[in-house]
Homo-oligomer: A and B are copies of this chain.
Amino acid sequence: MLRKKLIGIEDVKPSRPDFEVVGAFNPGVAVLGEETLLLVRVAERVRQEDSDLVRVPVLEDGRVGIRTFRKSDPDCDCSDPRVIRTREGTFLTSRSHFRLARSSDGEHFTVADQPTLEGEGPAEAFGIEDARITQIGADSFVTYSSASPYGIVTGICRTRDFVSFERMGRPFCPDNKDVVIFPERMGAVFPVLHRPSASAFGPLAVWLAESPDLCHFGNNRFLFGPREGYFDDKRVGAGCPPIRWGEDWLLLYHGADRGDRYALAAAVLDGRTLEVKRRSRTPLMEPEEEFEKNGFFSSVVFVTGCHPIPGGVRVFYGGADQNVCCADLSFDEIRENLKKGE
């Protein structure tokens, strides 16, 4: 399969002159008329001007301001490039928003100059991340997660035009992420996948919920978890909205190993019960290309969207937490992968 980098940080303008873009990745995907639309996660950090100082974006009184910490301060732990730990608390060094990218050929994208959707209020204080889009009739439902002082919170909103977005509340309690809605009802409800993070024990596993209205969610249950000795032995999470697969559903998901290497894999869910009938024993795609291996966070193929193409799907994913990428997967190679090791 051919893999391409579609958008890099060089293609995205910072939202403010004192910010720089450090990632454009993990895009939600929608097809509207003849256009392919991506809601790209754009991560920005404050331009650093003094090597002894770290300047981080913070939300104060509803506006994004800047806090400055001295690296040499013994009370300031800067050892992880993603966070600053101080006595006052933990601060993220970057902040993400969503930026719309449009294309008429599905390969060449024009990225909006300004944020399309931004974090709002304390539950999205540290920004919004990793959109997934499910199109149902004329509506597109966007699910996402946000880092906040309350933990990792989920959000859902509805749009028709990707200009105005109606917020529909928080579907799940923290910590949760990777919320993915099925594209059609089963009986009276939409099945929904999500990935809670239990605090004390319990695996980083995919759970199933159901919703009559995409505002209220219930009947939460464990669906599948990491597997000892496989490429996905540390964590799994739903990737893009499931695709009809004969009588069943095909789910593309991410699995990460204990070395935090993220790969793309497939699971077949029973068309009636949604139980897992089959699952990749080896990844469908692993980080191999330069734009998947080297970036803000190395060795990541993180699938977040797809659309049908003849005989298969085009998947859109984040490479190395930095790039928007795509690859065409044929149904034949997915079938082949699912048979491996049987």
Residues of A bordering B, CB below 8 Å:
90, 122-123, 148-152, 168-176, 194, 196-203, 205, 207, 209-213, 215-222
Tell me, rounded to whole Å, the shortest Cβ–Cβ distance linking A95 to chain B. Answer: 16
Which residues of chain B come closer than 8 Å to A194, judged between CB atoms?
A: 173
**Would A196 and B123 count as touching, CB distance under 8 A?**
no
CA distance A186 to B201 in the complex (A): 36
Residues of B with C-beta under 8 A to A171: 218, 220
Selected from B175, B210, B217, the residue in CB contact (under 8 A) with A198 is B175
Q: List 24 A-B pairs, Cβ < 8 Å.
A: A122-B222, A148-B202, A149-B201, A150-B198, A150-B203, A150-B222, A151-B198, A151-B199, A151-B202, A152-B198, A169-B219, A169-B221, A170-B218, A170-B219, A170-B221, A172-B172, A173-B176, A173-B196, A174-B196, A197-B198, A197-B199, A210-B216, A213-B216, A216-B219
20 further interface pairs, Cβ-Cβ under 8 Å (given A210-B216, A213-B216)? A122-B222, A150-B205, A151-B196, A169-B219, A170-B219, A171-B218, A172-B173, A173-B194, A173-B207, A174-B196, A174-B198, A174-B202, A175-B198, A197-B200, A198-B199, A199-B199, A211-B218, A212-B216, A216-B219, A217-B218
Q: Which 4 A-B pairs have the closest CB atoms?
A: A151-B198, A151-B202, A216-B216, A169-B219
Taken together as a complex, chains A and B put the C-alpha atoms of A175 and B196 apart, in Å, by 8
Closest residue of chain B to A210 (Cβ to Cβ) is: B216
Q: Is the CB of A175 within 8 A of B199?
A: yes
Kindly provide the distance from the CB of A86 to the nearest chain B CB, expressed in whole angstroms. Answer: 13
The answer on a CB contact under 8 Å between B123 and A200 is no
Q: A202's closest neighbor in chain B, by CB?
A: B151
Contacts of A212 in B (CB 8 A): 216
Contact A123 B173 (CB under 8 A): no
| Nearest neighbor of A220 in chain B, beta-carbon distance | B170
Q: Smallest CB-CB separation from A171: which chain B residue?
A: B218
| Closest CB in chain B relative to A284 CB, distance in Å | 26
Q: Are B175 and A222 in contact (CB under 8 A)?
A: no
Inter-subunit contact B219/A150 (CB<8 Å): no
Q: Which residue of chain B has the shortest Cβ distance to A194 in the bound complex? A: B173
Which B residues touch A152, using CB under 8 A?
Answer: 198-200, 202
- Chain B residues near A168: list those with CB within 8 A: 218
Nearest B residue to A156, CB-CB: B218
Is B217's CB under 8 angstroms from A217's CB? yes
